[in-house]
Structure 1
Amino acid sequence: MQLHNRNRKIAGLVLGFVLLLIVNFLSLVLGYTDLTINTVIDAFNHFDGSNEHIIIQDVRLPRALIGTVVGASLAIAGALLQALTRNPLASPDILGFNAGASFFIVIALMLFSITSLQATTWIAFLGATIAGLLVYFLGSIGRDGMTPIKMTLSGAAIAALFGSLTQGLLVMDESALDQVLFWMSGSVQGRKLEILLSVLPYIVIGIIIALAMANKINILTMGDDVAKGLGQRTGFVKLTAGIAVILLAGGSVAIAGPIGFIGIVVPHVVRTFIGNDYRWIIPYCGILGGIFLVIADIGARYVLMPEEVPVGIMTALVGIPFFIYIARKGGKLA
C-alpha cells in the first residue's frame, strides 16, 4: 500500500513537471502578438533576427523562466512558514517578508541609486530578514508566547508599516514613481534573463535547504516538545528553515517585486491532495507554484489587451477570495 502511494506521488510529480513544461511553452506562444508553434521552434533552431524571434528569445523566454522560478520559490517559502509557525495563514507576503524586502530595495534605488543586481539581491535579503525578525519578536511577546493569531497580526502590522514607509518615500520623490511603481505591483514583464541568473544561485540554495530539512520539519510540526523529546535541535531547524525562507522570498522580490498569495494558496492545495509529508509537499509546491504564476502571467496579457496588468494583480484576484475562505474555515479547505 505504501509503495503504491509512493508511486502515485512520483507519477503526480512527473505529470506536474510535464504540465509545467506545457504552460512554459504556451507562455512563449501566447500574448499580444500570438505566434505559431513552428515560429517558436524556429526561434531556437534557426534564429533569423526577425521581430518574432527576438520577442521569443529576449522577452517571452525570460518571463516564462522567471515566472517558474519565482512561483516555485514563493510557494515553497509559504509551505515552510506555515510549518514553522503552525499558522495556516502564513506566507511571505502575509508575514511581511515581501514588504520588508521591497522597502529596502526602494531605499537602495531612490536614496542611494544602487542598481547593481548583486547589491539589490543582498539588500532584499536584508529587508526580508529584518521583517522576519520583527514579526517573530512581536508575535512572541506575552506569557502565552508565539501563537498563530499573534503571528498573523504581527505580520500584517509589519507589512502595513513597511508598505506605508515605501509609499511615503515615493510621495517625497515623485520622479522615482515610473522607475519603482510598476515593479512594486509585482510583475515578471520586462525582466531580463540576467536578473534571474544573478539571483538563481541563492534561490537554488534555498530550495536545497528546504528539501534537506523536509523530514526534520515533519517532526517539528508535531510540536516543539515532541520534537525535543525525539532529540531534535528545534532552534537549529527553525533557524535553517528561516534562512531558506529569506533566500526564497528575498530572491523572488529582487527579481519580480512583491507578488502575493502564491505562498498561501499553493501549499494548501498541495496538502489537500498529498497530505502533510513535507518530503512531498516541498517538491509539489515548487512545481505547482511555477505553474500557477506562469498561468497568471499568461492571463495578465489578455485582461486589458493591448495593455498588460502586473501579474501580482492576477494572483491577488485568486488569492484574496482563497485567503478569506481559508480564514473562515479555520485554516482548512474542507
Structure 2
Amino acid sequence: MIALVRHGRVPAYGLALALLALVFGWHISVGAKAIPLGTVAEALLTYDNTTFDHVVIRDLRLPRAAIAVMVGAALAVAGALMQGVTRNPLADPGLLGLLAGASFAVVILHGFLGIGGPGVIPLFAALGALAGAVIVWGIAISAPGGATPLTLVLAGAAVTAFLGALISMAHLIDEDSFENLRVWLTGTLAGRRTETALWALPWTLAGLAVAFGAARQVTVLAMGEEAATGLGVDVHKLQAAILFAVVALTASAVAVAGPLAFVGLVIPHVVRFFVGHDYRAVVPWSALAGAIYMLVADIAARLVLAPVEISTGLVTAILGAPVFVWLVRARL
C-alpha cells in the first residue's frame, strides 16, 4: 500500500476518494437520530422534500459534512506548506500564531464592532492570521540564533497565550456580547452558518490553487534557499505566494469553524510517512487526509459522550497533543 501511494498511482487516489465518500456518508448518517446509509444515498440522489429524513440530511447534516471537508483540507494543506517552506517539523497554523490571530480578529469584529456579516468575517480572519504570523516571525528572528524551530514554537506559544488572554478579558468585560462566541472559540462544526462557508469557500479554493501550483517549487525550497535559487526558483516570490495560501486557508477555516488545533501539524506528518517528501504528492494527499480526519473527528465529537456533543476542536486537540509531544522529543 505504501509503495502504491509513494508512486502516486491513480488507484491509490481512487481508494482515498472512495474512503472519503464512505466516511462522508457515515458522517451524515450519525447524530441525535441515526439515519441508514441507504436513506442518505436516497436524499443525495433522489431528494424528496416531503420526507423528514431527507430534509434533515439536506438542510443540516450535508452542509456540516461539507464544511468538515473544507476545513480539514484547508488546515492540513496550510500545515504542510508551512512545514515545507520553513523546514520546521513543528510548523502549524495553531503553533505559529495564525489561528490565535484569526480568532482574535473575529472576536474584535463581532464582539466590539458588532459586525457579523458572513462576507466580512473571512477577510478579518485573514488579516488577523497575517498579523499573528508576522508578529511570531518578528519575535523569532530577533532572538539569538534567529528563527529556529524552537524559537518559532516558543514565539508562537507566547503570542497565542497573549491573544488568548485578551480574548478572555474581552469576554469578562462584556459577557453578553461574547456568549455566542464561547463554543466557537473551542472549534466546532455544530450550527455553522452555510452563508459564512460560502463566503469562505473562494478563500479556500484560492489557497488550494496556489498550493497545488507551487507544490513542485516547495519541494525544491525544502532543500534550502541556496539550493532553490540555484535551481531557478524565485524564493521571495514563492514565499509570498505560500504566505498568501497559508493565510487564505487558515482564515477560511477559522471563519467557519473557529480555531481547530493540531490538524495542520498531524496530517502532513502522517502523509509524508506514506508518500515521502515530494510536495506534488504531499499537497493533494494532505487535502484528502485532512478532509477524512476532520470528518472522523466530528463523528467522534458527536458519539463519544452521546447524547451530549462536544466541540470538534477538543477532539483534534486530544488527538494532536500526543503527536506534538512526540515531535518535540524526536526533533528538538
With the shorter chain as reference, the TM-score category is over 0.9
Matching residue of 2:155: 154
Instruction: Name the CA distance, whole Å, in 1 between partners of 2:105 and 2:133.
Output: 13
Matching residue of 1:36: 36
Q: CA deviation at 1:47?
A: 1.4
Instruction: Name the CA distance, whole Å, in 1 between partners of 2:175 and 2:268.
Output: 38
Contact 1:199 1:255 in 2 (8 A): yes
Q: Taking structure 1 as reference, are residues 277 and 8 closer, same or farther at Cα in structure 2, changes over 3 Å only?
A: closer
Once the two structures are superposed, the pairs formed by residues 69-80 of structure 1 within 5 Å of their partners are 69-80=70-81
Instruction: Name the CA distance, whole Å, in 2 between partners of 1:125 and 1:5.
Output: 34
Matching residue of 2:122: 121
Q: CA deviation at 1:11?
A: 2.5
Matching residue of 1:105: 106
Q: Deviations over 1:208-242 (max 9, x none)?
A: 10011111111111111222222322111111101
Percent of paired sites with the same residue: 36
Which amino acid letter does the alignment assign opposite residue 160 of structure 2? A
Moved more, 4-13 or 180-189: 4-13
Consecutive unaligned residues in structure 2, runs of 5 or more:
none
Contact 1:105 1:123 in 2 (8 A): yes
The runs of 4+ residues in structure 1 deviating greater than 6 Å are 3-6
Which amino acid letter does the alignment assign opposite residue 42 of structure 1? E
Q: Secondary structure at the match of 1:326?
A: helix
Matching residue of 1:61: 62
Instruction: Name the CA distance, whole Å, in 2 between partners of 1:115 and 1:4.
Output: 47
Contact 1:85 1:151 in 2 (8 A): no
Matching residue of 1:236: 237
Contact 1:58 1:192 in 2 (8 A): no
Q: CA deviation at 1:87?
A: 0.9
Q: Taking structure 1 as reference, are residues 267 and 46 closer, same or farther at Cα in structure 2, changes over 3 Å only?
A: closer
Instruction: Name the CA distance, whole Å, in 2 between partners of 1:300 and 1:150.
Output: 33
Moved more, 219-228 or 289-298: 219-228
Instruction: Name the CA distance, whole Å, in 1 between partners of 2:289 and 2:145.
Output: 36
Q: Secondary structure at the match of 1:213?
A: helix
Q: How many pairs are equivalent?
A: 329
Q: CA deviation at 1:94?
A: 0.6
Q: CA deviation at 1:53?
A: 2.1
Q: CA deviation at 1:10?
A: 3.2
Q: Taking structure 1 as reference, are residues 328 and 10 closer, same or farther at Cα in structure 2, changes over 3 Å only?
A: farther
Consecutive unaligned residues in structure 1, runs of 5 or more:
none
Moved more, 194-203 or 63-72: 194-203
Matching residue of 1:10: 10
Instruction: Name the CA distance, whole Å, in 1 between partners of 2:161 and 2:9.
Output: 39
Matching residue of 1:213: 214
Matching residue of 2:49: 48
Moved more, 284-293 or 42-51: 42-51
Moved more, 125-134 or 187-196: 187-196
Matching residue of 1:131: 132
Matching residue of 1:166: 167
Instruction: Name the CA distance, whole Å, in 2 between partners of 1:114 and 1:4.
Output: 49
Q: CA deviation at 1:142?
A: 4.3
Which amino acid letter does the alignment assign opposite residue 216 of structure 1? Q
Which amino acid letter does the alignment assign opposite residue 13 of structure 1? Y
Contact 1:9 1:274 in 2 (8 A): no
Which amino acid letter does the alignment assign opposite residue 78 of structure 1? G
Q: Secondary structure at the match of 2:72?
A: helix
Matching residue of 2:282: 281
Pair 1:185-2:186 in alignment = yes
Q: CA deviation at 1:55?
A: 1.6
Q: CA deviation at 1:148?
A: 1.3
Q: CA deviation at 1:176?
A: 2.5
Q: Deviations over 1:254-306 (max 9, x none)?
A: 01000011101000000111100000000000000000000010111112211
Pair 1:245-2:239 in alignment = no
Contact 1:17 1:287 in 2 (8 A): yes
Q: Taking structure 1 as reference, are residues 134 and 37 closer, same or farther at Cα in structure 2, changes over 3 Å only?
A: same
Pair 1:264-2:265 in alignment = yes
Pair 1:307-2:304 in alignment = no
Matching residue of 2:27: 27
Moved more, 47-56 or 131-140: 47-56
Instruction: Name the CA distance, whole Å, in 1 between partners of 2:13 and 2:262.
Output: 22
Moved more, 40-49 or 244-253: 40-49
Q: Secondary structure at the match of 2:331?
A: coil
Contact 2:5 2:275 in 1 (8 A): no
Q: CA deviation at 1:4?
A: 7.5
Q: Secondary structure at the match of 1:329?
A: helix
Q: Secondary structure at the match of 2:138?
A: helix
Contact 1:73 1:248 in 2 (8 A): yes
Instruction: Name the CA distance, whole Å, in 2 between partners of 1:130 and 1:5.
Output: 37
Which amino acid letter does the alignment assign opposite residue 96 of structure 2? L
Instruction: Name the CA distance, whole Å, in 2 between partners of 1:103 and 1:46.
Output: 40
